Amino acid sequence: MKVYVGVSGGVDSSVALYLLKKQGYDVVAVFFKLEKDESLSRCCNISNAEIVARKFEIPFIEIDVSEEFNVLVKEYFFKSLKEGFTPNPCTVCNEKIKFGIGFEKTKLLFGDGLFATGHYARNEDLHLKKGIDPIKDQSYMLWRLKKEDLKNIIFPLGTYLKSEVKKIAESLDLPQSKESEDLCFVKGNIKDTIKEILKEKEGNIINKFGNILGKHKGVQFYTIGQRSGLNVSYKEPLYVIDTDPITNTVVLGTYEDCLFKGAELTEVNFLEEVEPDKIYKAKVRYQSKPADCLVKNTNGQIEVEFLEKQFAVTKGQSLVVYDNDIIVLGGVIKRAIK
């Protein structure tokens, strides 16, 4: 059976390529060109990808998705920042570019097949599950994948530890490459890049009572839970607890003010049926610890209520709900609930 493997030139996708060929699949390496100028990408290395494909005697193809990536990922990212959100562009890229347009373009040009990547996640009996490596698990970044699409997807690294993958790469003498980065399209300092795209606009920094504490140069430079770079003197540590692009204000409060009971979600993707009153686990960011929660559906409005308040529940970030190691649903945080 033919399997297209999305390769970046990194160790993970290279080992995925090797494992699938070893398992007897008809493997084709696919490099998705995300930038017109490939030197702009911070984590993809087409030279390494081609070297690995030649080493394993695997066909190599390049699919240009740069225009779609620019509109659907990069423009989405900066638009979200302008609207006061802190987005997860990788989740959008996975859904719309790699597993979406990129895979569809590949099949259109070269025929039907399955699709595989080097993500540390598992697809078992059409259930999207965590990878077994608790540190490297990347299922959080895949919550936008549709359940009906799982029948065409393979994650060969889901049952491996990162340390095991590194050893395989070393034994095969594969080219070494740096790890993938969340904002692969941003070169240099993120704030400098934001300044180039979004104009600075001075506004007030206030406390929760509306008192002015200082000035800022744009709500796009702040995120919920931020403590550094506020340039405000106060008797106790302050954190960003809200941003409002309409009034152009940044709101500060104490640590306790940055604790939230839950979140209202938008763009919700259900991968499993939700059981009423069942206690699930949810992550409010990639590296956060899963917390006990309830999922509430009120006339189609999905809210997640935590049993204990969570720090810095952030507008625009992904919230992913798990039942043990199975993803139940994911969504974008529209509003944090006090």
- The model's pLDDT over 113-155, given as tens digits with 9 standing for 90+, comes to 999 999 999 999 999 999 999 999 999 999 999 999 999 999 9
First to last CA, the chain: 51
**Structural domain spans, the chain:** 2-171, 190-254, 258-337
Q: Are 78 and 92 in contact (CB under 8 A)?
A: no
Contact present, 144 and 100 (Cβ < 8 Å): no
- For residue 197, give both structure tokens: 């795209």
Alpha-carbon span 293 to 201, nearest angstrom: 38
Point out the catalytic residue in the list 43, 44, 90, 184.
184
pTM of the shown model: 0.93
Q: Residue 162 — φ and ψ, nearest 5°?
A: -60, -40
Does domain 2-171 sit in CATH 3.40.50.620? yes
Where b means 16+ CB within 10 Å and e means fewer, 10-43 reads: bbbbbbbbbbbbeeebebbbbbbbbbeeeeebbb
DSSP structural state of residue 176? P
* Domains 190-254 and 258-337 belong to one CATH topology: no
DSSP label of 289? P
Options 44, 90, 93, 258, the catalytic residue: 93
Average pLDDT over residues 189-205: 82
Please check the confidence at residue 188 and state whether its pLDDT lies above 70.
no
Active-site annotation holds for 184:
yes
Known active-site residue 293: no
Question: Looking at the domain that runs over 258-337, which CATH code has it been given?
Answer: 2.40.30.10
Give the strand pairing for 121-124 and 153-154.
unpaired
User: CA of 214: how far to CAs of 230, 237, 251, in Å?
Assistant: 9, 15, 10
CA distance 143 to 132: 17
Q: Is 249 helix (H, G, I), strand (E, B) or coil?
A: strand
pLDDT at res. 38: 64
CATH architecture entry for 190-254: Roll (2.30)
Q: What pLDDT score was predicted for residue 331? A: 98
Q: What is the pLDDT of residues 76-101, one digit of tens each?
A: 999 999 898 999 999 999 999 999 99
